[in-house]
Amino acid sequence: MINMDDIYSTLFGIFANNYDTAEKVGRDEVNAYTIDTCYTIDQGWETAVWYEDYPMIIVARYPDKEMAAQGHQKDMTAFLRDMIKIPSESCEEEGVVMCIKAEMEKLGYDKVEIDALGNIIGWMGEGEKIIAIDSHIDTVGIGNIANWEHDPYEGYETDEIIYGRGASDQEGGIASAIYAAKIMKDLGLLPDDVTILVTATVQEEDCDGLCWQYIVNKDGIRPEFVISTEPTDGGIYRGQRGRMEIRVDVRGVSCHGSAPERGDNAIYKMAD
């Protein structure tokens, strides 16, 4: 007999099928500590558990955010590898944009849209306050492919890394952000007055800042603040390097190269 008090999770449903798809696991892989053997059926961030000699299946909610993220690990890594396989240098991001659009729609985002610049924006929640999580999805080129240890467009994966162009900078960031908003909604972590805006932005490598200038000035979206998923070796930092373009006009007098003394060289004035 099972002591229900020892099940370290919130039970919220009872199911009677799915025996055929169950996978036998050890007790440490589920949130029950008093049984020797059980079966699990992966249900995303939920786990359906059928206990031997107990005539029901119960569905256990993961007890915290970390466990919820672990439940999505296979889907997240597959999604990241799919993005890596699509070349997406600046101004050539359409393929990865459509890949992201499909993933957001699969995860049940409230709204998914692509603006005129090419940024893809996913909305989760309906509150007036907007918190944005941003990742640029364009990459630099691969250079000489012979210098790569593995195919940069393969998404080579081990137990510790996923390798390829954009894996860190910054498609890994958008994969995390897209699933983070999904988990927040599923766990009831979205306040009623907040909307999470996940932005997969374009042309950052060529013109840092252009994408958000467009979102603010043209799309008319101004978040309370923005979380950038730029890689930081696991650290959390306040602030982000910006971009400034300055135009300087210096007037001179043109002349023929055979008689430079007749002119007034504007370049010399800039040097002075």
Give catalytic residues, as residue numbers.
138, 204
Helices 94-106 and 73-84, interaxial angle, to 10°?
160
**Tokens for 191?**
């306040």
- Residue 198 region, left (φ>0) first, then alpha (ψ -120 to 50), else beta? beta
State the Cα torsion 182-103-226-185 to the nearest 10°.
-10
Cis peptide before 240 (omega within 30 of 0): no
Q: Which residue has the tokens 């979206």?
A: 221
Query: How far is the C-alpha of 25 from the C-alpha of 47, rounded, in Å?
Result: 12
How many angstroms separate the CA atoms of 35 and 79, rounded? 35
- Concatenating the DSSP letter of every residue in 236-258 gives --S--------------B---TT
Residue 147 makes CB contacts below 8 A (sequence gap 6+) with none
Q: Each residue of 142-175: b (16+ CB within 10 Å) or e?
A: eeeeeebeeebbebbbeeeebbbbbbebbbbbbb
